[in-house]
């Protein structure tokens, strides 16, 4: 089995004597979508922030294809092929749509040919972004802003994409578009780690699921194993 990411026994937190994550071990197989579920406050976002270098783990290590990336800063991780879509917006609202698309290409250092090629690809796929490319990102609707953030992923083409609750507060139509895009990322060579409160959707979309409760992994397994009696299983995992 080819593991793209291995997080081993990660203990982490925001202040010295409170560990939000306790001995969390998670692996992502190359070419898969891996999911994580858990109640609010379980530590899901904290886990992703730790892998992405915003928090330094107090214990444990993180490997990207056997390369130790524990504690490495986000901008370096981006160059190594990681990308992160936080639950809150990561757009620059006062910059144009086009500038928002171009900024990450500077971080990863693409040639101007590659930049033009990818931008054209994004504009073909999302004609409404092309039509509005000179407008401020902040002028778009919430759903369109989310689409723009996903379009940025097509500019970056990461090896591993972390997505935190992508459809909270988003219309069903845009949510469906986002889930379709997540599936399509695999075909572009991007493996995905997805946090989503929509259990059914998460189990349908992913290959493997982790369940987090109070900062620990309390269950895990192939998603197919969770297709039946999903609700009952989840209630049991979370001790409801
Ligand atoms: N910036 C922060 N500073 C201090 N504590 C935080 C911060 N962000 C989250 N927490 C705490 O960490 C715990 C886990 O939060 P979080 O990772 O956001 O959970 P989830 O994403 O599963 O809802 C919660 O108790 C939360 O209050
Ligand atoms: Mg969260």
The pLDDT tens digits for 9-39 are 999 999 988 999 999 999 999 999 999 999 9
Q: Is the CB of 168 under 6 A from ligand 1?
A: no
Could you tell me if 202 and 194 are in contact, meaning their C-beta atoms sit under 8 angstroms apart?
Answer: yes
Angle between helical axes of 172-187 and 142-156 (0-180°, round to 10) = 0
Residue 214 φ then ψ, to 5° = 45, 45
Could you tell me if 56 and 132 are in contact, meaning their C-beta atoms sit under 8 angstroms apart?
Answer: no
Give the pLDDT band of residue 175 (cuts 50, 70, 90): very high
Q: What is the structure's pLDDT at 150?
A: 97
pLDDT over threshold 70, residue 240: no
| Domain annotation for the chain: domains and CATH numbers | 1-81+158-240 (3.40.50.300), 87-157 (no CATH)
The per-residue pLDDT for range 114-144, each reduced to its tens digit, is 999 999 999 999 999 999 999 999 999 999 9
Specify the ligand 1 atom closest to the Cα of 47: 17
The answer for residues whose C-beta is within 8 angstroms of residue 182's C-beta and 6 or more apart is: 33, 163, 166, 192, 194, 205
pLDDT over threshold 70, residue 71: yes
Rg (Cα) of the chain, in Å, rounded?
A: 18
User: What distance in angstroms lies between residue 59's CA and the mean position of ligand 2's atoms?
Assistant: 21
C-alpha pair distances (Å), 137 with each of 30, 35, 201: 33, 29, 28
C-alpha pair distances (Å), 20 with each of 10, 139, 166: 10, 36, 22
C-alpha pair distances (Å), 93 with each of 89, 140, 197, 224: 9, 9, 27, 40
C-alpha pair distances (Å), 44 with each of 21, 103, 142: 9, 27, 23
The per-residue pLDDT for range 151-171, each reduced to its tens digit, is 999 999 999 999 999 999 999
pLDDT over threshold 70, residue 148: yes
* Terminal-to-terminal C-alpha distance of the chain: 34
H or E element, residue 28: strand 21-29
Specify the ligand 1 atom closest to the Cα of 212: 22
Q: Is the CB of 44 under 6 A from ligand 1?
A: yes
Give me the chain's average pLDDT, please. Answer: 94
C-alpha pair distances (Å), 62 with each of 28, 59, 215, 235: 11, 10, 17, 30
Q: What is the structure's pLDDT at 230?
A: 74
The answer for residues whose C-beta is within 8 angstroms of residue 14's C-beta and 6 or more apart is: 20, 46, 55
- Span 32-49, mean pLDDT? 96
Which has more pLDDT, 236 or 185? 185
Specify the ligand 1 atom closest to the Cα of 38: 22
Q: What is the structure's pLDDT at 235?
A: 75
Q: What is the structure's pLDDT at 229?
A: 74
- Span 46-58, mean pLDDT? 97
pTM of the predicted model over 0.75: yes
């Amino acid at each position: 089995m080819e593991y793209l990411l291995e997080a081993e026994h990660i203990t982490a937190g925001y202040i010295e004597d409170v560990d939000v994550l306790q001995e969390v071990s998670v692996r992502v197989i190359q070419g898969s979508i891996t999911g994580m579920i858990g109640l609010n406050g379980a530590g899901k976002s904290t886990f992703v922030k730790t892998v992405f270098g915003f928090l330094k783990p107090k214990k444990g290590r993180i490997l990207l294809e056997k390369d130790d990336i524990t504690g490495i800063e986000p901008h370096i991780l981006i160059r190594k092929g990681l990308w992160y879509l936080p639950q809150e917006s990561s757009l620059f609202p006062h910059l144009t749509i086009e500038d928002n698309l171009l900024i990450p290409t500077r971080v990863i250092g693409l040639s101007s040919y590659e930049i033009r090629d990818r931008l054209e690809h994004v504009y073909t796929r999302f004609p409404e972004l092309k039509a509005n490319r000179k407008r401020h990102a902040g002028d778009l609707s919430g759903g369109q802003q989310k689409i723009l953030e996903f379009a940025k992923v097509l500019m970056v083409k990461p090896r591993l994409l972390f997505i935190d609750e992508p459809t909270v507060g988003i219309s069903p139509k845009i949510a469906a578009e986002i889930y379709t895009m997540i599936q399509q990322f695999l075909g572009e060579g991007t493996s995905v780690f997805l946090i989503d409160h929509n259990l059914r959707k998460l189990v349908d979309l992913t290959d493997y699921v982790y369940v987090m409760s109070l900062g620990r992994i309390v269950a895990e397994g192939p998603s197919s194993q969770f297709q039946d009696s999903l609700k009952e299983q989840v209630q049991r995992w979370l001790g409801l």
